[in-house]
Structure 1
Amino acid sequence: MKRNTIVLGITLFVFAGFAWAGWANFEYRRQAADKVMAATMPPELVIGGDDGPPSPLLNKPAPKFTLQDLNGKKVSLADYKGKAVLINFWATWCGPCKLETPWLVELRDQYASKGFEILGISSEADNLTDDDKDAWAKDKAAISKFAQQMHMQYPVLINGDSISKDYGGLDAMPSSFYVDRNGIIVATQTGIVSKDEIEGKIKKALADTTAQAGK
Protein backbone atom coordinates (compact mmCIF):
# COMPACT_ATOMS: atom_id res chain seq x y z
CA MET A 1 0.00 0.00 0.00
CA LYS A 2 2.80 2.39 0.96
CA ARG A 3 4.68 1.55 -2.25
CA ASN A 4 1.59 2.29 -4.36
CA THR A 5 1.18 5.63 -2.64
CA ILE A 6 4.77 6.57 -3.43
CA VAL A 7 4.38 5.53 -7.07
CA LEU A 8 1.16 7.53 -7.35
CA GLY A 9 2.86 10.57 -5.85
CA ILE A 10 5.77 10.34 -8.28
CA THR A 11 3.38 9.93 -11.20
CA LEU A 12 1.39 13.01 -10.21
CA PHE A 13 4.60 14.98 -9.80
CA VAL A 14 5.77 13.99 -13.28
CA PHE A 15 2.43 14.93 -14.83
CA ALA A 16 2.51 18.28 -13.01
CA GLY A 17 5.99 18.88 -14.41
CA PHE A 18 4.83 18.15 -17.94
CA ALA A 19 1.82 20.44 -17.50
CA TRP A 20 3.98 23.31 -16.26
CA ALA A 21 6.50 22.80 -19.06
CA GLY A 22 3.69 22.78 -21.59
CA TRP A 23 2.28 26.07 -20.26
CA ALA A 24 5.70 27.69 -20.17
CA ASN A 25 6.39 26.55 -23.72
CA PHE A 26 3.00 27.89 -24.86
CA GLU A 27 3.63 31.26 -23.20
CA TYR A 28 7.09 31.48 -24.78
CA ARG A 29 5.70 30.62 -28.21
CA ARG A 30 2.88 33.15 -27.81
CA GLN A 31 5.29 35.94 -26.97
CA ALA A 32 7.58 34.92 -29.81
CA ALA A 33 4.65 34.89 -32.22
CA ASP A 34 3.67 38.42 -31.19
CA LYS A 35 7.19 39.65 -31.91
CA VAL A 36 7.40 37.83 -35.23
CA MET A 37 4.02 39.22 -36.31
CA ALA A 38 5.11 42.74 -35.42
CA ALA A 39 8.41 42.35 -37.24
CA THR A 40 7.03 40.78 -40.40
CA MET A 41 3.86 42.82 -40.91
CA PRO A 42 4.02 44.42 -44.39
CA PRO A 43 4.95 48.13 -44.12
CA GLU A 44 1.95 49.13 -46.19
CA LEU A 45 -0.56 47.31 -43.97
CA VAL A 46 -2.77 49.60 -41.93
CA ILE A 47 -4.98 48.27 -39.13
CA GLY A 48 -7.53 50.93 -38.18
CA GLY A 49 -5.93 54.26 -37.57
CA ASP A 50 -6.60 57.75 -38.90
CA ASP A 51 -9.90 56.94 -40.64
CA GLY A 52 -11.97 59.41 -38.64
CA PRO A 53 -12.03 63.22 -38.54
CA PRO A 54 -8.83 65.06 -37.58
CA SER A 55 -8.22 65.48 -33.88
CA PRO A 56 -9.29 68.89 -32.53
CA LEU A 57 -5.87 69.01 -30.84
CA LEU A 58 -4.03 69.05 -34.16
CA ASN A 59 -1.84 72.17 -34.58
CA LYS A 60 -2.50 73.19 -30.98
CA PRO A 61 -0.24 73.10 -27.90
CA ALA A 62 -0.12 69.66 -26.30
CA PRO A 63 -2.08 69.64 -23.00
CA LYS A 64 0.29 69.72 -20.06
CA PHE A 65 0.43 66.82 -17.63
CA THR A 66 2.43 65.30 -14.81
CA LEU A 67 2.28 61.55 -14.15
CA GLN A 68 4.30 59.01 -12.21
CA ASP A 69 6.61 56.49 -13.81
CA LEU A 70 6.95 52.88 -12.63
CA ASN A 71 9.41 53.98 -9.93
CA GLY A 72 7.07 56.61 -8.51
CA LYS A 73 9.00 59.52 -10.04
CA LYS A 74 6.91 62.43 -11.31
CA VAL A 75 7.41 63.10 -15.01
CA SER A 76 6.01 66.14 -16.81
CA LEU A 77 5.65 66.90 -20.49
CA ALA A 78 7.39 70.19 -19.70
CA ASP A 79 10.52 68.21 -18.81
CA TYR A 80 11.00 67.60 -22.54
CA LYS A 81 10.77 71.19 -23.73
CA GLY A 82 12.79 71.63 -26.92
CA LYS A 83 12.47 67.96 -27.89
CA ALA A 84 10.12 66.22 -30.27
CA VAL A 85 7.91 63.91 -28.24
CA LEU A 86 5.60 61.05 -29.15
CA ILE A 87 2.88 60.74 -26.51
CA ASN A 88 1.72 57.15 -26.89
CA PHE A 89 -1.33 55.95 -24.94
CA TRP A 90 -1.42 52.15 -24.69
CA ALA A 91 -2.51 49.24 -22.49
CA THR A 92 -1.27 45.70 -21.85
CA TRP A 93 -4.62 44.24 -23.00
CA CYS A 94 -4.38 46.08 -26.33
CA GLY A 95 -3.47 43.66 -29.14
CA PRO A 96 -2.40 46.36 -31.65
CA CYS A 97 -0.19 47.89 -28.94
CA LYS A 98 1.78 44.63 -28.82
CA LEU A 99 2.42 44.93 -32.54
CA GLU A 100 3.29 48.60 -32.45
CA THR A 101 5.59 48.71 -29.42
CA PRO A 102 8.62 46.93 -31.01
CA TRP A 103 8.50 49.51 -33.81
CA LEU A 104 8.42 52.35 -31.28
CA VAL A 105 11.40 50.88 -29.43
CA GLU A 106 13.41 50.72 -32.66
CA LEU A 107 12.40 54.19 -33.84
CA ARG A 108 13.14 55.73 -30.47
CA ASP A 109 16.64 54.24 -30.54
CA GLN A 110 17.09 55.49 -34.10
CA TYR A 111 16.04 59.09 -33.50
CA ALA A 112 16.92 59.72 -29.83
CA SER A 113 20.21 61.37 -30.79
CA LYS A 114 18.27 63.90 -32.89
CA GLY A 115 16.24 65.07 -29.90
CA PHE A 116 13.33 62.63 -29.96
CA GLU A 117 11.67 60.91 -27.01
CA ILE A 118 8.62 58.73 -26.41
CA LEU A 119 6.39 58.93 -23.36
CA GLY A 120 4.53 55.63 -23.11
CA ILE A 121 1.41 56.38 -21.07
CA SER A 122 -0.45 53.33 -19.81
CA SER A 123 -4.24 53.50 -19.66
CA GLU A 124 -4.42 50.21 -17.79
CA ALA A 125 -6.30 51.32 -14.69
CA ASP A 126 -9.77 52.40 -15.77
CA ASN A 127 -12.09 53.86 -13.10
CA LEU A 128 -9.85 52.94 -10.17
CA THR A 129 -10.07 55.02 -7.02
CA ASP A 130 -6.94 56.39 -5.39
CA ASP A 131 -7.41 54.20 -2.29
CA ASP A 132 -7.72 50.92 -4.26
CA LYS A 133 -4.11 49.98 -3.50
CA ASP A 134 -4.39 46.28 -4.35
CA ALA A 135 -5.81 46.99 -7.82
CA TRP A 136 -3.19 49.64 -8.47
CA ALA A 137 -0.41 47.26 -7.44
CA LYS A 138 -1.78 44.56 -9.75
CA ASP A 139 -2.01 46.92 -12.71
CA LYS A 140 1.44 48.36 -12.04
CA ALA A 141 2.93 44.85 -11.96
CA ALA A 142 1.29 44.03 -15.31
CA ILE A 143 2.58 47.27 -16.84
CA SER A 144 6.11 46.65 -15.54
CA LYS A 145 6.12 43.10 -16.91
CA PHE A 146 4.95 44.30 -20.33
CA ALA A 147 7.57 47.06 -20.41
CA GLN A 148 10.35 44.59 -19.56
CA GLN A 149 9.23 42.05 -22.14
CA MET A 150 9.04 44.71 -24.84
CA HIS A 151 12.37 46.32 -23.83
CA MET A 152 10.75 49.72 -23.45
CA GLN A 153 13.71 51.92 -22.52
CA TYR A 154 11.74 55.14 -22.82
CA PRO A 155 9.69 56.56 -19.90
CA VAL A 156 6.61 54.48 -19.06
CA LEU A 157 3.99 56.45 -17.14
CA ILE A 158 0.89 55.20 -15.35
CA ASN A 159 -2.68 56.43 -14.80
CA GLY A 160 -3.17 57.71 -18.32
CA ASP A 161 -6.94 57.71 -17.78
CA SER A 162 -6.53 60.73 -15.51
CA ILE A 163 -5.57 62.87 -18.53
CA SER A 164 -7.63 61.10 -21.21
CA LYS A 165 -10.23 63.90 -21.41
CA ASP A 166 -7.52 66.46 -22.09
CA TYR A 167 -6.46 64.34 -25.06
CA GLY A 168 -9.89 63.86 -26.58
CA GLY A 169 -11.21 60.88 -24.66
CA LEU A 170 -8.99 58.17 -26.20
CA ASP A 171 -11.69 56.09 -27.87
CA ALA A 172 -9.18 53.53 -29.18
CA MET A 173 -5.79 52.09 -28.34
CA PRO A 174 -3.13 52.88 -29.21
CA SER A 175 -3.62 56.63 -29.49
CA SER A 176 -0.62 58.78 -30.32
CA PHE A 177 0.15 62.49 -30.42
CA TYR A 178 3.30 63.78 -32.11
CA VAL A 179 4.57 66.95 -30.49
CA ASP A 180 7.19 69.14 -32.18
CA ARG A 181 10.04 71.00 -30.51
CA ASN A 182 7.76 73.97 -29.86
CA GLY A 183 5.19 71.90 -27.97
CA ILE A 184 2.66 71.83 -30.84
CA ILE A 185 0.83 68.65 -31.84
CA VAL A 186 1.71 68.28 -35.53
CA ALA A 187 0.26 64.79 -36.10
CA THR A 188 -2.05 62.34 -34.39
CA GLN A 189 -2.85 58.64 -34.72
CA THR A 190 -5.75 56.50 -33.56
CA GLY A 191 -5.18 52.75 -33.80
CA ILE A 192 -2.17 51.11 -35.39
CA VAL A 193 -0.67 52.17 -38.69
CA SER A 194 2.47 51.07 -40.53
CA LYS A 195 5.94 51.57 -39.12
CA ASP A 196 6.80 53.76 -42.11
CA GLU A 197 3.88 56.07 -41.34
CA ILE A 198 4.92 56.33 -37.69
CA GLU A 199 8.45 57.20 -38.79
CA GLY A 200 7.12 59.86 -41.15
CA LYS A 201 5.22 61.52 -38.30
CA ILE A 202 8.29 61.38 -36.08
CA LYS A 203 10.28 63.17 -38.79
CA LYS A 204 7.55 65.79 -39.01
CA ALA A 205 7.75 66.38 -35.26
CA LEU A 206 11.55 66.64 -35.47
CA ALA A 207 11.49 69.17 -38.30
CA ASP A 208 12.86 72.59 -37.41
CA THR A 209 9.71 74.61 -38.02
CA THR A 210 11.47 77.87 -37.22
CA ALA A 211 14.08 77.24 -39.92
CA GLN A 212 11.41 76.21 -42.39
CA ALA A 213 9.42 79.39 -41.76
CA GLY A 214 12.50 81.48 -42.53
CA LYS A 215 13.01 79.90 -45.94
Structure 2
Amino acid sequence: MSADAPRRRTRRRRIILLAAGAAAASLSLSACGDGASGGSAQTRFVQGKDGVDTVKKADRQPAPDLSGETTTGKKLDVADYKGKVVILNVWGSWCGPCIAEAPNFAKVAKETSGKGVQFIGINTRDSEKSQATSFEEEHKVPYPSLFDPTGRLMLRFPKGSLNPQSIPSTIAIDRHGKIAARSIGPLTEDELRSMVKPLIAEK
Protein backbone atom coordinates (compact mmCIF):
# COMPACT_ATOMS: atom_id res chain seq x y z
CA MET A 1 0.00 0.00 0.00
CA SER A 2 1.41 3.41 -0.89
CA ALA A 3 1.93 6.11 1.73
CA ASP A 4 -0.65 8.27 -0.03
CA ALA A 5 -3.46 5.67 0.20
CA PRO A 6 -4.85 6.77 3.64
CA ARG A 7 -4.78 10.40 2.49
CA ARG A 8 -6.71 9.52 -0.68
CA ARG A 9 -9.29 7.60 1.35
CA THR A 10 -9.76 10.58 3.70
CA ARG A 11 -10.19 12.92 0.74
CA ARG A 12 -12.70 10.55 -0.88
CA ARG A 13 -14.66 10.29 2.39
CA ARG A 14 -14.77 14.10 2.65
CA ILE A 15 -16.10 14.40 -0.91
CA ILE A 16 -18.81 11.80 -0.20
CA LEU A 17 -19.85 13.64 2.98
CA LEU A 18 -20.03 16.97 1.13
CA ALA A 19 -22.14 15.40 -1.61
CA ALA A 20 -24.47 13.86 0.98
CA GLY A 21 -24.85 17.25 2.69
CA ALA A 22 -25.75 18.93 -0.60
CA ALA A 23 -28.32 16.24 -1.33
CA ALA A 24 -29.88 16.66 2.12
CA ALA A 25 -30.08 20.42 1.64
CA SER A 26 -31.71 20.00 -1.74
CA LEU A 27 -34.44 17.85 -0.18
CA SER A 28 -35.21 20.38 2.55
CA LEU A 29 -38.38 21.57 0.80
CA SER A 30 -41.34 20.44 2.85
CA ALA A 31 -43.26 17.80 0.95
CA CYS A 32 -46.83 18.51 -0.07
CA GLY A 33 -47.09 21.42 2.35
CA ASP A 34 -49.03 24.64 2.68
CA GLY A 35 -45.92 26.47 3.93
CA ALA A 36 -46.48 29.79 5.63
CA SER A 37 -45.30 32.98 3.97
CA GLY A 38 -45.40 36.68 4.62
CA GLY A 39 -44.04 40.02 3.54
CA SER A 40 -41.24 42.02 5.12
CA ALA A 41 -38.95 44.94 4.37
CA GLN A 42 -36.19 42.48 3.53
CA THR A 43 -38.17 40.28 1.14
CA ARG A 44 -40.22 43.16 -0.29
CA PHE A 45 -43.17 41.01 -1.24
CA VAL A 46 -46.82 41.37 -0.35
CA GLN A 47 -48.84 38.42 0.88
CA GLY A 48 -52.12 38.29 -1.01
CA LYS A 49 -55.42 37.18 0.50
CA ASP A 50 -55.78 34.66 -2.32
CA GLY A 51 -52.56 32.96 -1.25
CA VAL A 52 -50.51 34.53 -4.04
CA ASP A 53 -47.52 36.59 -2.85
CA THR A 54 -46.47 39.37 -5.25
CA VAL A 55 -43.55 41.74 -5.76
CA LYS A 56 -43.76 45.29 -7.14
CA LYS A 57 -42.16 45.60 -10.56
CA ALA A 58 -39.29 47.78 -9.29
CA ASP A 59 -38.36 45.29 -6.53
CA ARG A 60 -38.28 42.06 -8.55
CA GLN A 61 -35.16 39.93 -8.70
CA PRO A 62 -33.97 38.06 -11.81
CA ALA A 63 -34.90 34.39 -11.99
CA PRO A 64 -31.91 32.06 -11.60
CA ASP A 65 -30.54 29.76 -14.29
CA LEU A 66 -33.21 27.09 -14.68
CA SER A 67 -32.06 24.76 -17.40
CA GLY A 68 -31.57 21.08 -17.90
CA GLU A 69 -33.23 18.00 -19.29
CA THR A 70 -36.98 17.52 -19.38
CA THR A 71 -38.87 14.43 -18.25
CA THR A 72 -38.87 13.34 -21.90
CA GLY A 73 -35.12 13.83 -22.34
CA LYS A 74 -35.15 17.15 -24.24
CA LYS A 75 -33.04 20.20 -23.38
CA LEU A 76 -34.92 23.17 -21.89
CA ASP A 77 -33.78 26.59 -20.67
CA VAL A 78 -36.37 28.87 -19.02
CA ALA A 79 -34.34 31.91 -20.19
CA ASP A 80 -35.31 31.06 -23.79
CA TYR A 81 -38.87 32.16 -22.94
CA LYS A 82 -37.90 35.73 -22.02
CA GLY A 83 -40.58 38.00 -23.48
CA LYS A 84 -43.29 35.64 -22.22
CA VAL A 85 -44.85 35.25 -18.80
CA VAL A 86 -43.52 31.95 -17.41
CA ILE A 87 -45.43 29.97 -14.81
CA LEU A 88 -43.21 27.44 -13.01
CA ASN A 89 -44.93 24.65 -11.09
CA VAL A 90 -42.86 22.48 -8.73
CA TRP A 91 -44.47 19.04 -8.50
CA GLY A 92 -43.96 15.33 -7.89
CA SER A 93 -45.96 12.34 -9.10
CA TRP A 94 -46.15 11.05 -5.49
CA CYS A 95 -47.66 14.30 -4.15
CA GLY A 96 -51.43 14.30 -3.44
CA PRO A 97 -51.94 18.09 -3.73
CA CYS A 98 -50.00 18.03 -7.04
CA ILE A 99 -52.45 15.43 -8.36
CA ALA A 100 -55.38 17.57 -7.18
CA GLU A 101 -54.15 20.74 -8.92
CA ALA A 102 -52.94 19.10 -12.16
CA PRO A 103 -56.28 19.52 -14.05
CA ASN A 104 -56.36 23.22 -13.07
CA PHE A 105 -52.87 23.80 -14.47
CA ALA A 106 -53.65 21.89 -17.67
CA LYS A 107 -56.79 23.97 -18.24
CA VAL A 108 -55.29 27.41 -17.52
CA ALA A 109 -52.14 26.59 -19.52
CA LYS A 110 -54.32 25.89 -22.59
CA GLU A 111 -56.43 29.02 -21.97
CA THR A 112 -53.40 31.32 -21.81
CA SER A 113 -51.05 29.76 -24.37
CA GLY A 114 -52.14 32.30 -27.02
CA LYS A 115 -51.65 35.24 -24.62
CA GLY A 116 -47.87 35.10 -24.25
CA VAL A 117 -47.81 32.66 -21.33
CA GLN A 118 -45.63 29.55 -21.08
CA PHE A 119 -46.18 26.98 -18.34
CA ILE A 120 -43.17 24.86 -17.29
CA GLY A 121 -43.06 22.20 -14.60
CA ILE A 122 -40.16 21.30 -12.33
CA ASN A 123 -40.55 17.64 -11.42
CA THR A 124 -38.75 16.76 -8.19
CA ARG A 125 -38.12 13.76 -5.92
CA ASP A 126 -39.19 11.29 -8.59
CA SER A 127 -36.21 8.96 -8.99
CA GLU A 128 -37.21 7.80 -12.49
CA LYS A 129 -38.37 9.86 -15.45
CA SER A 130 -40.99 7.19 -16.15
CA GLN A 131 -42.78 8.15 -12.91
CA ALA A 132 -43.04 11.74 -14.12
CA THR A 133 -44.08 10.92 -17.69
CA SER A 134 -46.81 8.55 -16.44
CA PHE A 135 -48.19 11.40 -14.34
CA GLU A 136 -48.06 13.80 -17.32
CA GLU A 137 -49.86 11.33 -19.58
CA GLU A 138 -52.52 10.47 -17.00
CA HIS A 139 -53.30 14.12 -16.21
CA LYS A 140 -52.87 15.36 -19.80
CA VAL A 141 -50.21 17.93 -18.87
CA PRO A 142 -49.73 20.00 -22.07
CA TYR A 143 -46.38 21.64 -21.19
CA PRO A 144 -42.82 20.40 -20.51
CA SER A 145 -41.24 19.79 -17.12
CA LEU A 146 -37.58 19.94 -16.12
CA PHE A 147 -36.50 16.73 -14.40
CA ASP A 148 -34.94 17.68 -11.06
CA PRO A 149 -34.95 14.60 -8.79
CA THR A 150 -32.65 16.08 -6.12
CA GLY A 151 -34.16 19.59 -6.01
CA ARG A 152 -30.96 21.35 -7.14
CA LEU A 153 -32.88 23.89 -9.29
CA MET A 154 -34.85 25.14 -6.27
CA LEU A 155 -31.58 25.94 -4.46
CA ARG A 156 -30.67 28.40 -7.23
CA PHE A 157 -33.34 30.93 -6.25
CA PRO A 158 -31.76 34.01 -4.62
CA LYS A 159 -32.19 34.69 -0.90
CA GLY A 160 -35.02 37.10 -0.15
CA SER A 161 -36.77 36.26 -3.42
CA LEU A 162 -40.06 34.46 -3.79
CA ASN A 163 -38.49 31.02 -3.80
CA PRO A 164 -40.30 27.67 -3.77
CA GLN A 165 -40.61 26.38 -0.20
CA SER A 166 -42.83 23.34 -0.50
CA ILE A 167 -44.18 20.87 -3.02
CA PRO A 168 -46.26 22.02 -4.79
CA SER A 169 -45.10 25.61 -5.23
CA THR A 170 -45.80 27.90 -8.16
CA ILE A 171 -43.56 30.77 -9.28
CA ALA A 172 -44.51 33.43 -11.86
CA ILE A 173 -41.74 35.05 -13.90
CA ASP A 174 -42.56 38.26 -15.77
CA ARG A 175 -41.74 39.05 -19.41
CA HIS A 176 -38.37 40.49 -18.34
CA GLY A 177 -37.25 37.27 -16.67
CA LYS A 178 -37.87 38.50 -13.10
CA ILE A 179 -39.63 36.73 -10.23
CA ALA A 180 -43.03 38.41 -9.85
CA ALA A 181 -45.26 36.12 -7.77
CA ARG A 182 -45.39 32.89 -5.80
CA SER A 183 -47.92 30.55 -4.29
CA ILE A 184 -47.13 27.78 -1.82
CA GLY A 185 -49.46 24.79 -1.88
CA PRO A 186 -52.06 23.66 -4.46
CA LEU A 187 -53.97 26.20 -6.56
CA THR A 188 -57.53 26.28 -7.84
CA GLU A 189 -58.24 27.47 -11.39
CA ASP A 190 -59.31 30.90 -10.11
CA GLU A 191 -56.25 31.30 -7.87
CA LEU A 192 -54.00 30.41 -10.79
CA ARG A 193 -55.77 32.90 -13.06
CA SER A 194 -55.37 35.62 -10.40
CA MET A 195 -51.61 35.00 -10.53
CA VAL A 196 -51.36 35.02 -14.33
CA LYS A 197 -53.76 37.80 -15.42
CA PRO A 198 -51.94 40.83 -13.93
CA LEU A 199 -48.70 39.71 -15.58
CA ILE A 200 -50.37 39.28 -18.96
CA ALA A 201 -51.60 42.88 -18.63
CA GLU A 202 -48.13 44.25 -17.85
CA LYS A 203 -46.16 45.95 -20.63
Q: Taking structure 1 as the reference length, what is the TM-score of the superposition? A: 0.64
Aligned to 1:108: 109
- Structure 1 stretches of 4+ with a deviation exceeding 6 A read none
What is the CA–CA distance in structure 2 between the aligned matches of 1:85 and 1:187, rounded to whole Å?
Answer: 11
How far residue 50 of structure 1 moved from its aligned partner, in angstroms, is 7.0
Q: Which has more strand, going by share of residues?
A: 2
How far residue 70 of structure 1 moved from its aligned partner, in angstroms, is 2.4
5+ residue gaps, structure 2: 1-31, 46-54
How far residue 206 of structure 1 moved from its aligned partner, in angstroms, is 1.5
Q: In structure 2, do the counterparts of structure 1 residues 194 and 51 end up closer, same or farther at CA, with 3 Å as the change threshold?
A: farther
1:50–1:189 contact (8 Å) kept in structure 2:
no
What is the CA–CA distance in structure 2 between the aligned matches of 1:165 and 1:70, rounded to whole Å?
Answer: 19
Deviations 1:29-50 (A, max 9, x none): xxxxxxxxxxxxxxxxxx9757
Instruction: Count matched residues.
Output: 151
What is the CA–CA distance in structure 2 between the aligned matches of 1:50 and 1:115, rounded to whole Å?
Answer: 30
Tell whether 2:140 aligns with 1:157.
no
Aligned to 2:196: 202
Percent identity of equivalent pairs: 30
1:48–1:193 contact (8 Å) kept in structure 2:
no
5+ residue gaps, structure 1: 1-46, 126-135, 210-215
Letter in structure 2 aligned against 1:76: D
2:92–2:167 contact (8 Å) kept in structure 1:
yes
How far residue 204 of structure 1 moved from its aligned partner, in angstroms, is 1.9
Tell whether 2:114 aligns with 1:120.
no
Letter in structure 2 aligned against 1:119: I
How far residue 170 of structure 1 moved from its aligned partner, in angstroms, is 4.0
Deviations 1:47-75 (A, max 9, x none): 97574224948521111221111232210
Q: Which of residues 32, 37, 40 in structure 2 aligns to 1:52?
A: 37
Letter in structure 2 aligned against 1:159: D
Bigger radius of gyration among the two? 1
1:64–1:78 contact (8 Å) kept in structure 2:
yes
Q: In structure 2, do the counterparts of structure 1 residues 156 and 80 end up closer, same or farther at CA, with 3 Å as the change threshold?
A: same
Please, what is the CA RMSD of the aligned residues?
Answer: 2.3
Letter in structure 2 aligned against 1:152: V
Aligned to 2:129: 140
Residues 75-94 of structure 1 mapped to structure 2, 5 A cutoff:
75-94=76-95
Aligned to 1:133: none
What is the CA–CA distance in structure 2 between the aligned matches of 1:205 and 1:108, rounded to whole Å?
Answer: 14
